[in-house]
Amino acid sequence: MQRLQDILESGDGLFEGFFEWLEGQYDPESGGFYYARSSRNSPRLTPDIESTAQALGIIERCGLAAGLTEEVKGRMIRFFQSKQDPVTGYFYDANPDMRRDEVMVGRALGYSAGSLRKLGAAPLYPLPGAGGSEEAAPDYCRSPAAYHDWLRSISLVNSWRGCDRLCNSAPYLVQMPMEKRETYLQVALSYFAEIQDPDTGLWGEGAPYVRISGTFKLLTFYNRFGIPLPRVPEIYRSLLQILRTERAEDMCYIRNPISLLSSMNMDIAEDEMVEIAEITLWNMARLKRADGGFSRELHRSPPAPNVAQVKPGESYPDMPPPVPLGRGEVEGDMNAGTQAILIRYTLRELSGLPASGLQAANFSPRLRQIAADE
């Protein structure tokens, strides 16, 4: 156990400068956060919903939320509320192409509603599928039969993208009355059981890390409704094999296996946990940037993370248009930063070690002063 503790404590050095980087993404005028430093330098890019929600998640996970002033919280509340469309109840960024990406729209809905809840506030208008805005919900919410057909229409040629689309239905099911939701939920679970690989425990097609990432996406669906992940032993064997043999070139490929492990509720042998921690932190170190943040990809931060699931040489039908959040430079980005923080805390949890907040290790406390400095 001492060796594992030493590995994780050494890994905390990767976060040197991270909170200064995070502070630099804050925009006091809008109350939101930018995706990357290059985003500030482009007149066409603004703070966005995902980056702001992810920044709030980092602040909360690291025990810094109590230090945010009422003024800053009020600005963040107004940021999210200002993004909601009063007619449909959805939350949209300024780029009109965002509305053409069903996954991005669904994520913005979940991120915005969840962030407002954390901040002690609520949406200004009813959410899609609730309180009189049911006409704004997707067509597959019309009936269980329509949902059945929609699930089967989703291509899984790229497991990551396909499973992301499948689990994007969860926010709409959550808004349904309980009895109606249960019917739809059984339709989904029956289909997921039907298409899970009985040997590997994974879903869909694609490269090994793509299949692990797709499986992680479906995990979020199971977690949303408090349902245990099926075929855990098979998934664990697949996961270990992929960690040992495949090259992780995306922060998601590093985070997704750790999040899967966290939800398996299984005892991991100490020697295997040491191996998992060493591989994970080595991969993370390759994505650390000079500005203090982490890049989503090995060679850069993808300018449009909404299409970054499908890599060069891979394909997926009917991909939405890119929605740029940054300029594609070699720099830290919020998408990678939130995953790096999650990895850090989850590794400690899996190892049975105390959470031990990063700010207690003499990292920058200035985020607590974010309003006072304005």
Q: What angle do CA 124, 127, 128 make, to 5 degrees?
A: 145
Q: What is the mean pLDDT of residues 109-132?
A: 89
Answer whether residue 353 shows pLDDT above 50: yes
Give the SS3 label for residue 250: strand
For residues 39 and 367, what is the distance between their CA atoms, to the nearest angstrom? 20
What DSSP string describes 323-359? --SS---SS-BHHHHHHHHHHHHHHHHHTT-----GG
pLDDT number for residue 131: 52
Distances 211 to 205, 229, 255 between C-alpha atoms, Å: 6, 15, 14
Residue-wise pLDDT tens digits, 124-151: 999 986 654 456 688 999 999 999 999 9
Element (H, E) at 170: helix 170-174
Q: Are 69 and 371 in contact (CB under 8 A)?
A: yes
Looking at the chain, the whole-number percentage of residues with pLDDT higher than 90 is 83
Residue 217 in tokens: 């996406």
pLDDT number for residue 96: 96
Distances 150 to 72, 155, 319, 332 between C-alpha atoms, Å: 41, 10, 17, 37
10 Å Cβ neighbour count for 297? 21
> Can you give the C-alpha Rg of the chain in angstroms?
20
**Mean pLDDT, rounded, of the chain:** 92
pLDDT number for residue 294: 98
What DSSP string describes 88-129? T--B--S-GGGGG-HHHHHHHHHHHHHHHHHTT---SSPPTT
For residues 185 and 174, what is the distance between their CA atoms, to the nearest angstrom? 10
Among 88-102, 124-138, 226-240, 352-366, which stretch is predicted with the lowest mean pLDDT?
352-366
For residues 221, 224, 225 and 228, what is the CA-based torsion angle, rounded to 10 degrees? 70
Instruction: Say what the pTM is.
Output: 0.89
For residues 56 and 32, what is the distance between their CA atoms, to the nearest angstrom? 10
10 Å Cβ neighbour count for 351? 19
pLDDT tier for residue 359 given thresholds of 50, 70 and 90: low
pLDDT number for residue 365: 44
Q: What is the mean pLDDT of residues 288-317?
A: 94
pLDDT number for residue 315: 87
Residue 64 in tokens: 């810094």
Residue-wise pLDDT tens digits, 164-185: 999 999 988 998 999 999 999 9
pLDDT number for residue 129: 66
